Amino acid sequence: MMCMPALQGDGMAFFVGTYPPTLPEDSNGGFLGLVNNPGNPANTYFPATVAVEFDAFRNVWDPNNTVNHVGVDVNGIASAAYAALPDGCFNGTMSAWVRYDADAGTLSATLRFDDQPGLLGLYKVSAPVDFRAVGLPQQAAVGFSAATGDYVERHQILSWSFESTLANVAVVNKAESKTSKTTHIGLIAGLASTGTAILLIIVAWLFYREYQKRKGTKQRQKDAPRDGDMDDEFKKGTGPRRFTYRQLSKATRGFSDDWKLGEGGFGSVYRGFLQDQGLHVAIKRVSKTSKQGRREYISEVTIISLLRHRNLVQPVGWCHEGNELLLVYVLMTNGSLETHLYSTSNVLTWPIRYDIILGMGSALLYLHQEWEQCVVHRDIKPSNVMLDASFTAKLGDFGLARLVDHTCAARTTMVAGTRGYIDPECAVTCRATTRSDVYSFGVVLLEIACGRKPVIHEEDEGRVLLVRWVWELYGSGELLAAADARLLDAPEAEVERALVVGLWCAHPDSAARPSIRQAMGVLQFEAPLPELPLEMPVAMYGPPGGGGNPSSNTTSSSSGRSGRSRGRASTSEQTAHSSSASSSAKSGARETRFFATCNTGSAQVNPTADAHE
């Protein structure tokens, strides 16, 4: 949007309205082409309209007489919620994300100015909106409108995309599908001045399918009883539906390499398009050679199908035919946190990073304390945190997750997780608890704030654990020096909280760690910063099966410093005392999922030393 600050027009808007759309005749100027002037008695046509306005002109109905602002309009031109914007901000290009969450009943907008160095960060606004309650029909129009009034302004849509997904797209039968019409709407208005073309490619895959069918006949017969058992488990969940292998093969063009998003030890992930639902999806195809594949597949489907939270990945369905195991999710257009965190071309801004931290914490709070059963994730890391079009964090990959009672821990015979993120105490005791997840969460917090991997490679010192490196800076009063140097004008208070809470959560003694609710309280500025030991201690953990909690030896305890001569209060909830894991990290640092048998005796824990790939 281009305008002269002193003589700028009225602005533009993204709207959802009745279909087919009609332009109100008396909607010029400040009414942005959205609604008729309600002050004119001759106007009687006021169709239901919900809009996000990018207002560039002061009108009497504008909130607090603001000039530039982004606002949410519901059946009118006066904003139900707004965020004020700097003067002259609309003289250039901008990117906007608009998201409607029917489950939460909210419409939110995020705005970024792309070619103005002085306007950093994101501007956000959110308002409670129920599309049905405001009168929008099930078939609605989506588009843009603008007006200039008596002045001059140029409005351009350089590129945009739209996606709509059903919260419960996968249902057991047609009768249920008629009652599950909850809708999520997302919009991206971007910079690239390029046209969009859709090329439909027809792939001749019949011969391949026939070959696979013959090849898998014996295997399907062999697995039929187990598949039946799996069906019984899956039916306990609601929401995701079962797909046929043929449907998913068609959606991925025969699992074409051109449609592959990535691969790992579990198998490969493909992007796909379900034509009958008009839905872009990500399809995880479990490797036939993966020893843990079937177990993780069952775990992921049975757990994730029961969960509903805005910060968890949304499952669409599943498929098991013979030795083919596939999981289907809504495609996250911005990929994983790991991809963006270490990108050399686009640096994640601090506001986005902090929102991701809060989103992850919200997801863990739901899993640990707010759902009817406690879910221990056991594999929290940046590559398992997906980002949607508005960079909202979505925790995924529940293949290692376990359902436990809120008062119990999950005892296993194998250590599961990813090197660098595994709770060192869990590596010895084989007892996965919510505190194990909190440890991993803490490591990821440090990773987000520092822009560094869990194991730092230094030429003079070899490999150094990120937790120890940050803790040393904390003890010397230079904590903020650990922050990612690429971050510009990041609020020190938020960076400090992310780093201190990261250390608190990654405290080697699980008894000294906070619950996820306590950690979120500090991150949301509802509680003061905790005091941590100035030095990272070394802990000793007892063997599993000893009839009690693992023992640990405290080696130091003292008040801590967190910033460049910055004072702070201590928390009364839990003072960080006790022990810590050994900081040495002499083995490899690749973030590979691994399984290692438990040690049977007391051991000084090295969180990376006994990993088998």
Task: Round to whole Å and give the CA distance between 550 and 540.
Answer: 9
The bridge status of strand 315-321 relative to strand 241-242 is: parallel
Answer for the pair 363, 444: CB distance below 8 angstroms, yes or no: no
Helix axes 466-475, 434-450, angle to 10 degrees: 70
CB 539 within 8 A of CB 464: no
Please give the C-alpha separations between residue 116 and each of 93, 94, 125, in angstroms, as whole numbers.
9, 9, 20
Q: 8: which DSSP letter? A: B
Q: Are 50 and 15 in contact (CB under 8 A)?
A: yes
The span from the CA of 143 to the CA of 24, in Å, is 14
Which tokens is 78 given?
Answer: 């006066």
| The dihedral formed by the CA atoms of 277, 362, 372 and 317, expressed in degrees to the nearest 10 | 20
Eight-class DSSP state of 19: S
Structural tokens at position 353 = 């990073």
- State the catalytic residues: 379
Owner of token pair 């990108």? 343
- Give the Cα separation of 582 and 500 in Å (integer): 19
CA distances for 107 relative to 99, 189, 197, 450, angstroms: 6, 16, 29, 32
* Enclosing H/E stretch for 100: strand 94-101
Backbone angles phi, psi at 555, to 5 degrees: -110, -20
Coil, strand, or helix at residue 297? helix
| Residues sharing a CB contact under 8 Å with residue 497, sequence separation 6 or more, in sequence order | 522, 523, 525, 529
> Which runs of E-coded beta strand occur in 191-305?
241-242, 260-264, 267-274, 279-286
**Residue 117, preceding peptide bond in cis (omega within 30° of 0):** no
Within 10 angstroms of residue 570's Cβ, the number of other Cβ atoms is 14
- Provide the CB-side half-sphere exposure for 208 (13 A, CA): 11
| DSSP type of residue 370 | I
586 annotated to bind ligand:
no
- Assigned token pair, 268: 């490969």
Quote the tokens at residue 584.
């040495």
The annotated binding site for ATP is made up of: 284
